[in-house]
Structure 1
Amino acid sequence: MHIRDLPHPDPGFPDVRTGGAFLLWLYKQQLGGQFKALLWGLVNFGAIASFPLPVGLAVQAVVDRDGGRLALSGGLVVVLGALIALGGTMLHRAAVTNWITTVARMQQLLARKTTELGSAMTRRVAAGEIVAVSTGDLEKIGWFVEAISRFGAAAVTAVGVSLALVVRQPQLGVLVALGVPVLALAVLPLLPPATRRADAQREKAGRATELASDTVAGLRVLRGIGGEELFLGRYRSASQEVREAAVRSARMWALISAVQVVLPGLLLIAVVWYGARLALDGAVAVGELVTIYSAVTFLLFPLRHFEEIAQAFSFARPSAKRTARVLAQSRPADGRTSGHGAAPTGDLHDPVSGLTAPAGRLTAVVCGDPDAAGRLAERLGGHPPQTDEDGTDRVEGTAPPSVVLGGAPLDDLPRDAARRAVLVQDKDPMLLSGTLGELLDVPSSGQVPAAEALDAAQCADVLTALAQASVDDSDDPMRTHITERGRSLSGGQRQRLALARSLVTDPEVLVLDEPTSAVDAHTEARIADGLRKIRTGRTTVVLTSSPLLLDRADQVAFLRDGTVVAEATHRELLHGHPAYRAVVTRETDTEPALRAGRVDRIDQPHRTHRIDQIEETA
């Protein structure tokens, strides 16, 4: 494959059982490129290995004063030099192509996995690990995959030179043939400790990267509480640990390099000393001794490739293990049915919690535990809790059953069909950088215009602010650029734009996890009315404890310990279910269960405001 043909039409489905299996799969995916690199490597290394022959002929021709043989040796030098230049150039091109195409394949696999899991990716794999995999790990794996062909060419050439020496000069050839494998294997005892030190370095580097990523993401909050110096000290300490681990790793690799220099040097001294004695005895001609010396010098070249492949493998093995672990994340069945038919319709039922959201109605869910609400929202979207390779829930110890939509388990649906059917907006939605028009340009049914979605999400003030910030003086908010993660907006503005984006999509089932937690009560009431109006005839599930949203829902389900314990309207549950009332009204144990007139004042709930709510109100 050529670089100009990237990206790959189909990156394939990797073998992610182990890191080694993943490396083997990558190698098999580009056998043509590996074979091409091997051939050009044999041309390059074979020409280099043959160079001692004309050099020895030239020396012997000078000793014998033979001009014809001197001219012949000169011609051979020119031909071999051209082959070395051609082979080296083409080997470099083939090796770099293998490297880039391997990295590109892994990038496409990671991108596909990210789109498959969506926000569930960072819930299952730490953000720092994903960053480490998508940057340094891909480079290390690519290095190992491309180095295999060069090492193979060097090894084949080394074996050929050793056999030629045995045939040409058995006395010296046997010494060389026995000495080279010993030199190559001499560093093997040093590789395990070197690998352990390299693994420790990468582990510390991954933690430092994750710490830096989390710090940058929460920089705004850190500044608000004056925690910059605290986290700076933590990162400084983590970076120093990485530096110390890198120094320890470098010392071991320096020792391996020293061994690869000292031992071959001793072999070369032994060959020269023994060859000189043979030359003095007349058993070996001077030119032949020069040829043997040059051939032994060449054999030091494959030893350097042995060191490189050992180092590349020690770096690539843990990187491949991490990459395979990320790529192994998936939906339990990932679609047992085939085809691209219409998404199913009907009631949404979760067998784990017992929750049933009737089709075409607005259902509110009260959990009391934000983490439990997040897990429920993830499960309703077809992303159950993290499971082992056999599909067993790591927490519960059993295989989690699939959510059912209209009688069809989501796990049985192809990914695209499941996504068309159910859309989940979590409590911290992501806004990518770009214009507002690009933000709302998402796959949709086409039934909900962007203007209606923005109006339902109460984004009028957001549009005004974006129009004033327009860089081209067009006063068109749709052309205004939004920074990464929407950091140029307040928390409430980000939340409302994300809600508008979800409404534009207009899925059959929309699951919203705390969609109004960062807005004031008046805006929340208008959003509740707009949401109910624009989602008429569509199934909507809202996980919230806000009385304003609960009062406008067709039905409310109350979950305790992850199971539905009560279902009714908000007012019915408020009057008849003390546990529900305690969660919604934030009553403590010291407060009476009911106060005079308390349950009727649902439009003025007791709420715990977040920092973003304060900023929104300001």
Structure 2
Amino acid sequence: MRPLPEPVRTPPDTRSPDRFLLWGAREQWTTLLSSSIVNGVYTLCGVLSATALGAALDSGMAGGDAGALLLWSGVLAACALASALTIILAERTAVYSWLRGAFRTIAVVVDRSVDLGPTLTRRLPGGEVVAIGTDDINRVGDLYENASMVPGAMVSIGVIAGLTLHAHAGFGTALLVGVPLILLGVAPLLRPLSRRHRHQRERQAELATRAGDLVSGLRVLRGVGGEQTVGARYRQGSREVRDAGIRVGWMDAALRAAQALYPGLLLVGIVWFGAHLALRGELTVGQLVAFYGYTGLLGQQVRWVTGVAWVYIGARVAASRVIRVLNLAHDHPDPASPAAPPEGPLGLHDRLTGATARAGQVTGIVCPDPAEATALAERLGRYRDGAPDETAELVGGHTGWAVALTDLRLRDLRGRVLVSDNDAYLFSGRLRDELSPDAGMPEERLTAAVRSAAADDVVAQSASGLDTVVAARAREYSGGQQQRLRLARALATDPEVLVLVEPASAVDAHSEAAVARALPGARAGRTTVLVTTSPLLLGRTDRVQLVCGGRVVAEGVHPDLLATVPDYARTVLRTTSEEP
């Protein structure tokens, strides 16, 4: 078995849909070539079968030559056997072409989606992304599966034209003129089909987006009584997709009718013309039978060529959607001259507020304003860019050397700094794979992370333990259980710098205290930032900083700040008095 997907050797050409499809063809040219050869052999076997049948009729039956009849019968049998063998190979090569084309498209889209991160969902509606993954990749694969039919069809058309011209110039000329006329007759249908197909594809993406919004917000909609209104909008969108599909179907039916009608008219003309020539003695019976066979094969080849044109239309529309994703500009582009990733213990400093997390320590940051806390966490992970003096920087623990996050490649930064908040997605699949995305984490390390996050009971509530299969977003768990699973995943990843945003806001007091006790030990020797107002968590930090009005206004250990800074006490203890 050949492994799929294969590594992408060259960057995709995203200048246009046609260039992207051509790039894909270059990536798998060997498969397309072998598939074209096999299809060419298969079609030539059909041509030779018609030729052998005509020769057998003329030399064997009409001429009474038993040896010639036996010879041509053997040739006919050999062609039939070769056709049976090549059709198997043709199917295998065609399927492999589809798999390579589709999987390559999946690979480049997934890689780009991972690079874009939140940029993707901010720039494109969710339905567009879903439609690419469920429909567009199939259409791109269909093109590579069917494209190998075109060279074989053109070769067989050329061979048939040569044979007929050799046998009778007028007959061959009729075929050479008739086939291009058929293709020209089908061509006017392709442009409106492409336009209608693109319109349907856009409506499908919009409907998928609306469906995702409806499912995710169903609880809220029921609470405010809005499900009827949204449901009516979804039904309207569904009708629009249906109507667009009907218009595509009508045009598709017209194309298929033309594919059957024009070759049929050619066949009728050839039959009449051939019979007329045979009655005049210009064609033998064997030649007439062979020409009838050639005409039938021509009709098949023409249908293949026009069918590939229809597939190309769908693939081109799909490729335009794919390159739209590949060409999206990242919200946080890499610098032109990226700095080298820093070595050694790392601290984190926010230039805007002055908040600093020292290397190897657990630092608490308290923000009375939740919006300010969110913005700070986004800057510390470079999920929000601003002016040079508004960005965060990594600080060397011993040397004091600093490098701005905007000077690092995003992949290098993501490998060093992890921001975990309560919007982090929980995927479907085995719980073990969810907590260890690289699937290479030792059992002991994974178990220790679960214990440190006080998530033992979440794992133990199922007999399968870590092998429990969870649904998307882990909907079978409560909000507090989901929060502990997110924390366990962040601790298991064990980054050099970990920024936790309210990691225990939805759990009970007992679990919150357990997390507070275990967190310093779980992060020993690593830099940890706790953006929180939880007194239990802040009590376990090395230092705490209070950020008000965009600046650090107080710093110290938790008990001292409670006793001396009223703003800190009010925020942490959630009181309204001036005194703690």
Kept in 2, the 8 Å contact 1:335–1:415? The answer is no
| Equivalence for 2:290 | 291
Say if 1:122 and 1:287 are closer, same or farther in 2 by CA, change over 3 A. Answer: same
Residue 539 of structure 1: how far off its partner (Å): 3.8
* The 10-residue stretch of structure 1 (487-496 or 113-122) with the greater mean CA deviation from structure 2: 113-122
Alignment of 1:462-477 (within 5 A): 463-464=456-457, 466-467=459-460, 469-471=461-463
**3-state SS of 2:72 partner:** helix
Structure 1 residues 97 and 73, CA, compared in 2 at 3 Å: closer, same or farther? same
The aligned residue for residue 106 of structure 1 is 105
Structure 2 residue runs of 5 or longer lacking an equivalent are 396-401, 557-565
Using the alignment, how far apart are the partners of 1:216 and 1:223 within structure 2? Answer: 11
Aligned to 2:191: 192
C-alpha separation in 2, matches of 1:334 and 1:95: 43
**25-34 vs 496-505, which moves further:** 496-505
Q: Quick one: structure 1 residues 155 and 455, their matched pair in 2 at CA, closer, same or farther if it must change by over 3 Å? A: same
Note the alpha carbon deviations across 1:132-185, whole angstroms, 9 max, x for none. Answer: 222211111101012111122112221232233233311121121012112112
Alignment of 1:218-297 (within 5 A): 218-222=217-221, 227-297=226-296
Deviation at 1:95, TM superposition (A): 0.8
| Counterpart contact for 1:359–1:538, Cα < 8 Å | no
**Equivalent in the alignment of 1:590:** none
Q: Which amino acid aligns with 1:23?
A: L
**Aligned partner letter, 2:462:** S
What is the match of residue 567 of structure 1?
A: 552
Higher mean C-alpha deviation, range 242-251 or range 481-490:
481-490
1:207 CA drift (Å): 1.9
State the distance in 1 between where 2:532 and 2:309 align: 55
What pairs up with 1:449-528 in 2 under 5 angstroms? 457=453, 459=454, 463-464=456-457, 466-467=459-460, 469-471=461-463, 482-519=470-507
Q: Which amino acid aligns with 2:88?
A: T
Q: 1:108-145 CA deviation, whole Å, 9 max, x = no partner?
A: 33444444455554344433222222221111110101
Counterpart in 2 of 1:181? 180
What letter corresponds to residue 429 of structure 1 in structure 2? A
Among 405, 426, 432, which residue is 2:394 paired with? Answer: 405
> Is the Cα contact below 8 Å between 1:429 and 1:495 reproduced in 2?
no
Q: Deviations over 1:451-509 (max 9, x none)?
A: 7755665x3xx533553x3326xxxx656554432211111221232123223333222
Using the alignment, how far apart are the partners of 1:298 and 1:151 within structure 2?
14
One-letter amino acid matched to 2:141? G
Residues 508-551 of structure 1, C-alpha deviations (whole Å, 9 max, x = no match): 22233454554578976886776577657644445567798789
Normalising by the residue count of structure 1, what TM-score does the alignment of the two structures yield?
0.77
Provide closer, same or farther for how the CA distance between residues 39 and 411 of structure 1 changes in structure 2, counting only shifts above 3 A.
farther
CA drift at 1:252? 0.4
Deviations 1:47-72 (A, max 9, x none): 11222212222333434444333333
1:10 Cα offset (Å): 5.5
Moved more, 277-286 or 537-546: 537-546
Say which of 538, 549, 555 aligns to 2:545.
555
Q: Which residue of 1 aligns with 2:214?
A: 215
Query: How far off is 1:309 after superposition?
Result: 1.2
- 8 Å CA contact 1:377–1:424 kept in 2: the answer is yes
CA distance in 2, matches of 1:67, 1:491: 87
CA contact (8 A) 1:427 1:513 kept: yes
Contact 1:343–1:418, Cα closer than 8 Å, also in 2: no
Paired position in structure 2 for 1:333: 334
- Please report how far the alpha carbon of residue 424 of structure 1 lies from its aligned counterpart in structure 2 after TM superposition: 1.6
Contact 1:524 1:548 in 2 (8 A): yes
Matching residue of 1:60:
58
Could you say which residue in structure 1 is the equivalent of 2:381? 381
Deviations 1:236-295 (A, max 9, x none): 332222221111101001111112222222222222223333223222223222222321
Q: Show the counterpart of 2:561.
A: none
Q: By how many angstroms is 1:4 displaced?
A: 3.2
1:355 CA drift (Å): 6.1
Deviates more, 1:86-95 or 1:503-512: 503-512
| TM-aligned CA deviation for residue 40 of structure 1 | 0.5
Change (3 A) 1:28 1:381: farther
Partner amino acid, structure 1, of 2:207: A
Residue by residue over 1:532-584, the C-alpha shift from the partner in whole angstroms, topping out at 9 and shown as x without a partner, is 7765764444556779878976324456xxxxx4222289xxxxxxxxxxxxx
Aligned to 1:146: 145
Which amino acid is 1:567 matched to?
V
- Indicate conservation of the 8 Å contact 1:373/1:543, yes or no: yes
Partner residue, 2:574 = 605
Mapped contact 1:402–1:410 kept (Cα < 8 A) = yes
CA contact (8 A) 2:143 2:311 kept: yes
Q: CA deviation at 1:90?
A: 0.8
Q: Residue 200 of structure 1: CA displacement?
A: 1.3
SS of residue matched to 1:4: coil
Judged with a 3 Å threshold, the aligned counterparts in structure 2 of structure 1 residues 568 and 522 are, in CA distance, closer, same or farther, namely: farther
- Name the aligned partner's letter for residue 76 of structure 1: V
Deviation at 1:449, TM superposition (A): 6.0
Deviates more, 1:134-143 or 1:271-280: 271-280
Gaps of 5+ in 1: 386-395, 560-564, 572-596, 608-618
Mapped to 2, the partners of 1:415 and 1:140 lie a distance apart of 32
Deviation, structure 1 residue 323? 2.0
Q: TM-score, normalised by structure 2?
A: 0.81
Distance 1:300 1:368 in 2: 74
- Local SS of the residue matching 1:8: coil
Name the SS for the 2:154 alignment partner. helix
1:345/1:14 CA distance change after superposition, 3 Å: farther
Query: 2:425 aligns to what?
Result: 430
CA contact (8 A) 2:382 2:406 kept: yes
